[in-house]
Structure 1
Amino acid sequence: MKLRLILGLSLLFAAPSPSAAQCMLCGKDEGGATLVRHKAETPLRVEVETQLDMGRVAAGAGGGEVAIDPLTGARRLSGNVVDLGGFALTGVVTVSGEPGAEVRVYLPATVDLESGDGRTARVTGLATDLSPTPRLGPDGRLQFRFGGRLQVAGASGGDYRGRIPVTVEYQ
């Protein structure tokens, strides 16, 4: 028996509060004085351009996995999962702030999704197409894509939704 699984993920973005940014940006010298490593004049702004969408699939006995590659946008199915069509999309995010500033982007290790009837599914392996040391461009903008892997159980059909908390901080 095949069940219909429709996915839609929304994103929750958090820029650090001034006090959290202060902890990340400052250190103490031996005398106890605070040393400012980087002072950003422009606050970070994070915008969702495209939400991560795994598309529509049917899962048979034993379930399987749906993976979206952040570099290519390709969707791969494994296990007992069948493509039912629809568009699978990588998430696309734009960060704006201080031109040339180095930033850190944090994604969670896993995200649990829920259907309207209380069933859950899990997204793992969230990854971006960012370099190891991402920087905002001369225009103060940085755009990146991200993807992940959805673990699909055989008897858990439904429309699953969840939030992916993404934190962006000045380095």
Structure 2
Amino acid sequence: MSKGVELRLFLGLALLAATPSGASAQCLLCGASESAKTTAGRGGQTPLHVEVETQLDMGRVAAGSGGGEVAIDPVTGVRRVSGDVRDLGGFALTGVVTVRGEPGAEVRVFLPATVDLESGTGATARVVGLATDLGAAPRLGIDGRLQFRFGGRLQVTGSADGDYRGRIPVTVEYQ
């Protein structure tokens, strides 16, 4: 591995809860200790309430000049590094989101294809392959609650170090 640089990543979440009619609300994270919350509903149904329980955190890695990827599996929570990347330890965490709404209702959850992150120095990195641990047709439980985890792959290069942050829009709709 050539000269490595330290890369620490913390991903925030921007949440969208929307209905097919287009009603939506957005919450921008104000701080790491606050939960992100948003609600939206459609006529006659309990409004959706979306809360971030845990932010996605890729942990600490060092990237050589060849770059590589850091992946967090949404089902197992396992962090894997590939390419010219070395795991420096620390805690890697899947993102955890709780949705509350109409008991038994089927919902759709959408994550973007890519998310660009930025460090305090203006350097950028990209997260791709965002995925959840949800099945094909997720439903709120009889208590009106659904909790899911998500992960993704961070593409890194050895060109810049720092804490990379970004917002991941999570869209939840009644089916």
1:131 maps to 2:135:
yes
Q: 1:99 to 1:85 in 2, by over 3 A?
A: same
3-state SS of the aligned residue for 1:52?
coil
2:165 alignment partner AA: R
The count of corresponding residues between Structure 1 and Structure 2 is 156
3-state SS of the aligned residue for 1:41?
coil
- Within 5 Å, which residues of 2 pair with 1:88-103? 88-103=92-107
1:2 maps to 2:13:
no
Whether the 8 Å contact between 2:19 and 2:174 is mirrored in structure 1 is no
Q: CA deviation at 1:83?
A: 1.0
Percent identity over paired residues: 76
1:30-72 deviations in Å (ceiling 9; x for gaps): xxxxxxxx96520000000000000000001111100000000
Q: CA deviation at 1:92?
A: 0.4
Larger CA Rg, structure 1 vs 2: 1
Structure with greater helix percent: 1
Q: Which runs of 5+ in 1 are unaligned?
A: 22-37
| Root mean square deviation of aligned Cα | 1.6
1:15 maps to 2:21:
no
Q: 1:117 to 1:97 in 2, by over 3 A?
A: same
**TM-score, structure 2 length as denominator?**
0.86
**CA distance in 2 between partners of 1:71 and 1:85 (Å):** 20
1:114 maps to 2:118:
yes
**CA distance in 1 between partners of 2:154 and 2:20 (Å):** 34
1:150 maps to 2:154:
yes
**CA distance in 1 between partners of 2:84 and 2:18 (Å):** 41
